[in-house]
Structure 1
Amino acid sequence: MGSFGKWLTGIVILAIAALLFQLLTPWGARAHSVKMGESVKEALNTAGFSSIDVDMSGNVARLSGTTPSEDVKNTVVTTAENTFCEKCTDRKNDNIWHEVDARDLTVKKLVPTVSPYTLSGMRDDNGGVILNGYASSEAERDGILADAEALFSGMVTDDKIKIATGAPDASWRAVAAANLAGLAKLDDGEFSMNGEDSFLKGMTMSTDIRSEVNSLVASLPGGYGGAANIVVPNAEADNTGTINSEEVCQGLFDDLKGDAKINFAYNRAEINDEASLTLIRSLASAAKQCSNFRITVDGHTDADGSEAYNLDLSRRRAEEVVRNLVAFGVDVNNISGGGYGESRPIASNDTPEGMAKNRRIEFTVTRSK
């Protein structure tokens, strides 16, 4: 064999040896890359970042996936950078053999799912509106705020709308717009949305405006139930819709009654003034909107007279209120009355003012009939 042949044979032998060394030795660069990738992935899993993928390209660990914030992203990158590879010896200091590429690691804020899914709007003392609740996206929140700004120009005084999922469907925005439009027509009021139910209450001096608001509430998108209770001073109640929230119904009764009293003839169960009958008419209208619930009417007296007499008087007065409510259209099966006499005072019976407070009628809304 000539010298050239020997030289060529030597080159081939060296090439084969180098290839075998690369393929078989566990200390080759390819083995280091695999081991390094496994070490990085294990470190991320241990740190709670199992959703992050690791793809090794030589000594570069390419990270991909999403994190909920920049801080979390930085923690992921730091964890990957500080990963030790015990198998990757004789490389850089502290067995750190690799580099980290985080260009495919993105930040995507987590959007929580909430229940109940709510939105409320309330007129403030300056005629503006305070909003609170949820929208499904930044775009939807911006849209609701734009609707409010168009109706209450420069008077959207508070913005507490948070981003969350859980709305019944895409019509949530349209229901919010209808309630905002109704609220803007009133002199005072508020609306509340809870899932597919919404309720708008308030006051206006015009029966025409009340009719407009009632029409808005009655024409909500399919699947949504709306109710409105709009007070017009010195006008008969004209409410619309059914209220499906026990809490809202109780609040409605509390608001309508407020500090007003149902007055009775002295030591009798006869209602003796038109103002009391007007109040009972408003309460009857509310009770009809709350037809899915039971209304309990409780009578109370002061401590003047015997306990037995006061117990009987309070019962008869409660029953008289029930009789009037039924006369104004409340389903008799949805309402009941009872008396507690002087047993549940809310003020001292030692003063005329305290005794007057203890002579009262209370309304309680419960789900069971």
Structure 2
Amino acid sequence: MSRPPFRMIAPLALVAAAGLCALAALLAVGLLESRTAGAVRAALAEAGMGWAEAAPDGMLVRLSGTAPDEAARFRALSAAGAVIDAAHVIDEIAVKPANPLAAPRFSVELLRNASGISVIGLVPATTDRAALGRTLSRIAPRVSVADMLESADYPEPLGWQDALAFGLDALSRFDSAKISVTPRRVAISAITESDRARERAEQALRKAAPEGLTLALDISAPRPMIAPFTLRFLMDGEGARFDACAADTEEARARIEAAARAAGMVADMDCPLGLGVPADSWGAAVARGIEALARIGGGALTFSDSDVTLVAAAGSDRATFDGAVATLRAVLPAPFELHAVLAEPVKVDGSGAETGPREFFATLSPEGLLQLRGRVPDALVQAAAESYARARFGQDSVHSAMRIDPNLPEGWPLRVLAGLEALSQLRNGSVIVQAGFVRLTGLTMDDTAQARVARLLSDRLGDAQNFEIDITYREPPETVDGRPTPQACVAQIGDILAAEKITFAPGSTRIEGSAVRVVDAIADVLRRCPDAQIEIGGHTDSQGREEMNESLSQQRAEAVLTALMARRVLTSNLTARGYGESRPIADNGTEEGREANRRIEFRLIAPEGEEAAADDAPPEGGTDGQD
């Protein structure tokens, strides 16, 4: 075997030495990388980040794994950077995706007052904002609507549409309200014109609320102005009861009720709180009066402002009567003034016979026909009674068979007119007028009629007058199946108004006379059409200032709406709008034209998505009387 030449040994040795050095360097680097990666792993484990992996890559360390969030990722990098220069750390850490954002809380605030409607809140992007705007404009057509809604592109929560629709329906029922709508709850704060209206609104809202919706109600009623401030308490064969009642405070009402219970009243007492009391001692004065009547044993006690009339029942013991009256005079506080009468037996005949008692009587049929019979003092009073009756009951609805008796007592004409006015408040009935007695009987579907009639007679007849009221209240019929179409309902109302208009006193917004029965008839129709969207439009002639006419027409339209509500008609789909003189249907240059232009119209409002009813549609009826 030959050996390499000597001159080759040195280079080979050098190559071998270099190889050994390279191998040693590689082994040293690998050991360093492993130790560095191990140190980083230890640091990560100590920090509780077992999810992170550290792998050597030459002089670098690669960090991988899935961090639960960005904060954990940053802590892992910081832990590695404490072991090795951060410049040598390669970040390959993934971050777990964040949870999707939760849907926002959708809610709407509906605010309504005399100046307009405001809508504030957040709604789903799918909400039809244009339809919402049309609905709000229909609810309050003559005021501004401020839309301050924002929207978010998230799915509608369950129950959202039902809750929003119910909130809008509730808004249409009040002139002043705040309604908060969320998907499962609607909160309503509102003001009504009376306690009765508040009770009816609460009942209607609870009935209309969608199933599963939580309803929170805070409805208040400001105290009405009662004039005259009237209370009438009766004790007769039917028991102790109120024909009319009013109180100024809760304490006064409680005191009045306690006295009535002690006198034998067992029925519930309806005694609204009102403004206009003649003195703070009202409750004490009424309680004393009831105590005096109870001592006598029967009769009627009437307070009309500060005038007090005590009429003892015919046949009452004179000594007991005198003692009770004397005691009441002594304890009755100022400014109340007592008029006491021990009634004579009353014979009511109603035949008109010459041999019967001197009396005047009128009978109103369910169809609205009025018969006038009995006695009047002269031809002038006869003509005045006929004219007054035609103004209140309709020009062609009055049949007169009165006869003249010049020996009638003073004050007879006033009593006749008061009786006719009281009769006009009823659906049908009769009134009998005698020298010392007036009796009114009849039927109504307005549960406020009895108190209104008592107030009217006590005011018109004056002090120390004996009168009797026997009014039957009949609950309006429930809506039945087989309802007519909205178009048919409006057509029926048009027929009613074509036969007889809704009348107002000149410059007044009070519904009176034959208009009471016209509203009764319209209420009967509307109960069968609870879903019809109808506008009640008020119109005037061109006499007077334009602004005044517009305001008057609006008030009259609202008066009709309020009268329908009093007859338990659901009014959520009814709106009142005054047009003033802007839409004449006849020449304002003639009396006949002005008469035609003074009117109330009922107009069908087309549902959303359909073309609205034409503004120039022919009127269905109108009002009477000067504007």
* TM-score category of the 2 structures, normalised to the smaller one: 0.3 to 0.5
Q: Relative to total residues, which structure has the larger helix share, 1 or 2?
A: 1
What is the TM-score with the length of structure 2 in the denominator? Answer: 0.27
Q: Which has the larger radius of gyration?
A: 2
